[in-house]
Amino acid sequence: MSVLPLDRDRLLALLVTASERLEGEWLVVGGAAAAAWFSTARVTEDVDLIPLDATAGQRLALMELASASGLPVEAVNSAADFFVRRVDGWRDQLVPLLRGPRATIHRPSATLFLLLKLERLSATDLADCLELLDHCGATGDVVDTARVRDRLAALPATDDEALLARRAQLADRLAATG
């Protein structure tokens, strides 16, 4: 079964189903968080959904949920927890997105979302970051721009000119934001 691009409606339906059938607290990050939260046109090929208190049973339940929803198990990914747990204070940066009878699905705060995108900062990541900053400007959502700028400045040096340009573009936008 090939993975099809998941649009906002399909992602939200999957997250609602997850909040109804899974147990515990979960965090959606990456493109799926962008689509569910601030980017109505965003599509993704996978859903980064992380159990906050990860167990093998929860990961298996997530794969079973994907399969029951007509998605290949590759369409759900909980490996992003490696990156989330590397951010100091990440648990303080969670915002409830959906509450079901058995599970709560959180999204990252704007600050956490940006921090998670910085290391790779692909062209799509940069587009997500810029759209999020626009969203925050329109809604008043708070971004700890100093923390994000500091982390951006502390990234390892790179010879990748395109990555350097994306980093500079984001740094300029953060400076203009506050």
Per-residue pLDDT reduced to its tens digit, 66-100: 778 887 777 777 778 889 999 999 999 999 999 99
Q: In what order do the strands lie in the sheet with 76-77?
A: 76-77, 47-51, 24-29, 103-108, 94-99
Q: Check pLDDT > 60 for residue 35.
A: yes
Report the pLDDT value the prediction gives residue 3, as an integer from 0 to 100: 54
The domain segmentation of the chain, as residue ranges, is 8-108, 114-177
Calpha distance 79→172 (Å, rounded): 31
- Picking from 1-5, 8-12, 108-112, 141-145, which range would have the lowest pLDDT averaged per residue? 1-5
What pLDDT shows up at residue 4? 67
Which pLDDT value is given to residue 19? 95
